[in-house]
Amino acid sequence: MADRLTLEVATPTRLVVAETAEEIVVPGRQGYFGVLPGHAAFLTTLGVGELMYRIGRDEHYLAVAGGFAEVRNDKVIVLADSAERPEEIDRARAEGARDRAERRLAGRSESDVDYTRAMAALARALTRLQTAGRRG
């Protein structure tokens, strides 16, 4: 059994990460799941959250939203709708998205507010801000 995993994270437009890691934690639609070398194979959908991968003692984070993850015993492939490293996130833009989503939710008694969509936008904005805060 291998003692490391290959991680590939891609979006429709680019390869975001291609690394070898000891541990990977992924935001699945039903909650976070951790992967170590030798994990049972499965395919799942992604939620919104932070993907973490550990190389030695160093933890690395990505803000991801939507897509799929395929886990094999020695490889994790993430095909995300969006994925950003901390240094790629525009903090002011993420704060603006958070504020807009919060305003929409505050007026949720109005019939024109799509509550599910506003909650998803808020979750994406909060994840992006959390990940941006991890910048070195």
What CATH number does the domain containing 113 carry?
1.20.5
Please give the Cα distance from 42 to 118 (Å, whole number): 30
Average pLDDT value for residue range 15-27: 97
Number of folded domains in the chain? 2
**What pLDDT band is residue 110 in, cutting at 50, 70 and 90?**
low
Q: Of 24-38, 98-112, 113-127, which gets the smallest average pLDDT?
A: 98-112
Neighbours of 4 (CB within 10 A): 14
Instruction: Specify the pLDDT at position 114.
Output: 81
Give the residue numbers spanning the domain of 124: 89-132
Average pLDDT value for residue range 99-118: 79
Residues 99 and 74 in one domain: no
Instruction: Specify the pLDDT at position 27.
Output: 97
Residues 60 and 30 in one domain: yes
Buried b (16+ CB within 10 A) or exposed e, 43-64: eeebbbbbbbbeeeeeebbbbb
Q: Specify the pTM.
A: 0.89
Please give the Cα distance from 8 to 93 (Å, whole number): 27
Residues 45 and 109 in one domain: no
